[in-house]
Structure 1
């Protein structure tokens, strides 16, 4: 009678060792996969900015100047609407140059953006009926793939890419005047000749984060380290006066934060929607803040979910990643078109 030979098998200890080794390999592999994915997202974000900056150059070639940041214009047939409500922003003007010709053809840029009756926000505020549909369009490469990539307001498309309105330098009284010394402003169209600091030393567009729509904004929000990148401090004018200081903005633990308008409407040139400033470093610990009366004051900084910094599109059409530990004076120098600064190494 022959005995059956025993089958080879793993012992419990050996099985546990194999499982432990697999767990260690997965733990080592996941960060590498996440880093690779973020590197791909950051590259895609740079490509988005590259398209925008090339469109900016094409616009300049045709119009002999860059788009006005928030233009004022009285339109024929709409003389009753104030000039400031025209305010079509740079991204709207760039649509025919960023492979969005169908959106451009759908937009009626011959009428003010706002001031029409009966659409969305009520009499005297809403957009023209011709523009209801195109303004709701989400343009895919106006969203950074590292952010949430969703609209902030149901009726309007959003964007992660904001125009450079300057350093945002405070005046002697402490007021950070919103109409600064950047590539965009509300007064005139900047040309290459105006950029005396050099186009390779001047920022055109950078990133910002979309507001967090999951936050309940009723009654104000307490400012914390966790929400500092997606809220704005002092959006409503209070008794403190118009002065903006670092200390005034960094009121952590206090219910002073409100939902920002930043990034909410890709087509709107108004600074609260599509402008950023260079006074504080990228991903700054200083939260965005504003005082809107009696003097308009605003700090909105470049922000992203890319680890360690933000992507920036330059006025010469190049794009680069700028570390959040960048020398502050070098960063501020990138914000001005004619400040005479030496930007240094970024």
Structure 2
């Protein structure tokens, strides 16, 4: 007699069914996992913003003012940016001791003697507070400070110097907010208000009271470049006024949220919708190629958020004109006037920290008023709705806040 052997196992059909079920479950679970990861990154980013809000208040308690955006030493007898910052340092530099970066601050605030031999080496040594914030041979400017980064932002490495996802709010206007109306000597020097880089590099010493008035009318944000502001200046209330906001840094993909469009001409100074023509209508998250619109993209380390120590509007400032996750578009080069927008890599909006230190997530669908209107100035209500009103410190607008 033969003993029949019976084999146990899965048939091919059963195996295929199991694989299909597993595939469906993975497909269902992956979006949830990715969403959970982004929620964790967004929470970490919010925590960093909270630390910045605390740092602003601690700085104000210590020095009775907020840190100056575009500070440092004045232009003197020489244009050598190795020995003077020419009023280009960002307010983030002054905040380093208040965000647990005391060693970095100690390096910046003392002369940098690479060889520690007490002998000035013009090739490598720098004075206290460092050189101009574009110097790649100065180690502090190349440092990536973790507190200044959002975990959701994937931009890393060169050609940037040290990157930052934090920027100061300079209001809802375009003209003169890039320099605050002062030149590299800290002087109100008159000129053509509609020129692309009016007054930012001029080094004359003659003060102009009329130019001072023009600058005061247009610099309506919590921060005023090359000036110090205080809590008492915020007549609209600290809880109603944005102090800082989030900006995305470039990953080299021609995105409107993280690429600078430069040299587009002076039309952008009075018409916020002008650069709409440079956005790809089929892919509105991206710019058209350079040849399809005026100007060109920033190159080298002239990139969004690519210099944490540089106070110019392209690197560490923004306006409440275009809604969050909009473009960055400038009349001239990286010392020119234009539109700098808040942005992030979080879906649907970006973080801001209010003057009272509260952190809010602002939707990119927030009311932005009439985007074809020229910017308001003086005591006029903002032309850009709730978003514009949140960016001004003393215009006394009555708005319904989105939170």
TM bin, normalised by shorter chain, reads: 0.7 to 0.9
State the match for 1:283 in structure 2.
Answer: 325
Distance in 2 between the 1:242 and 1:16 partners? 63
1:138 maps onto 2:138 in alignment: no
Equivalent pair of 1:147/1:209 in contact (CA under 8 Å): yes
- 1:171-222 Cα offsets, whole Å, 9 max, x none, are 9x9999996311111242111110111111111111111123x46xxxxxxx
Distance in 2 between the 1:86 and 1:332 partners? 27
- In the alignment, structure 1 segments of 5+ residues that lack a partner are 216-225
Distance 1:310 1:174, change over 3 A: farther
Deviation at 1:169, TM superposition (A): 5.7
1:44 maps onto 2:72 in alignment: no
State the match for 1:180 in structure 2.
Answer: 219
Equivalent pair of 1:197/1:338 in contact (CA under 8 Å): yes
State the match for 2:241 in structure 1.
Answer: 202
1:327 maps onto 2:333 in alignment: no
State the match for 2:12 in structure 1.
Answer: 12
Question: Among residues 328, 346, 355, which one is paired with 1:306 in the alignment?
Answer: 346
Distance in 2 between the 1:88 and 1:126 partners? 7
Distance in 1 between the 2:156 and 2:358 partners? 27
Deviation at 1:277, TM superposition (A): 0.8
State the match for 2:274 in structure 1.
Answer: 247
1:97 maps onto 2:98 in alignment: yes
- In the alignment, structure 2 segments of 5+ residues that lack a partner are 113-120, 126-130, 177-192, 199-214, 280-287, 369-384
Secondary structure of 2:46's aligned partner: helix
Deviation at 1:315, TM superposition (A): 1.0
Secondary structure of 1:92's aligned partner: helix
User: Higher mean Cα deviation, 296-305 or 60-69?
Assistant: 296-305
Secondary structure of 1:320's aligned partner: strand
1:232 maps onto 2:260 in alignment: yes
Secondary structure of 2:52's aligned partner: helix
Question: Among residues 160, 163, 166, which one is paired with 1:158 in the alignment?
Answer: 163
Distance 1:239 1:188, change over 3 A: closer
- 1:78-134 Cα offsets, whole Å, 9 max, x none, are 6535987132211100001000000011103799xxxx97569xxxx85699x8122
State the match for 1:263 in structure 2.
Answer: 305
State the match for 1:220 in structure 2.
Answer: none
Distance 1:283 1:128, change over 3 A: closer
Distance in 2 between the 1:41 and 1:296 partners? 34
Distance 1:342 1:4, change over 3 A: farther
Secondary structure of 1:281's aligned partner: coil
Distance 1:248 1:37, change over 3 A: closer
After TM superposition, the score normalised by the length of structure 1 is 0.81
- 1:224-251 Cα offsets, whole Å, 9 max, x none, are xx62222223x12648685443134432
* CA-based RMSD: 3.4
Between Structure 1 and Structure 2, how many residues are aligned? Answer: 319
Secondary structure of 1:205's aligned partner: strand
Distance in 1 between the 2:93 and 2:278 partners? 36
Equivalent pair of 2:88/2:133 in contact (CA under 8 Å): no
Secondary structure of 1:322's aligned partner: strand
Equivalent pair of 1:163/1:205 in contact (CA under 8 Å): yes
Deviation at 1:3, TM superposition (A): 2.5
Secondary structure of 2:352's aligned partner: strand
Equivalent pair of 2:133/2:141 in contact (CA under 8 Å): no
Distance 1:339 1:9, change over 3 A: same
Distance in 1 between the 2:134 and 2:400 partners? 46
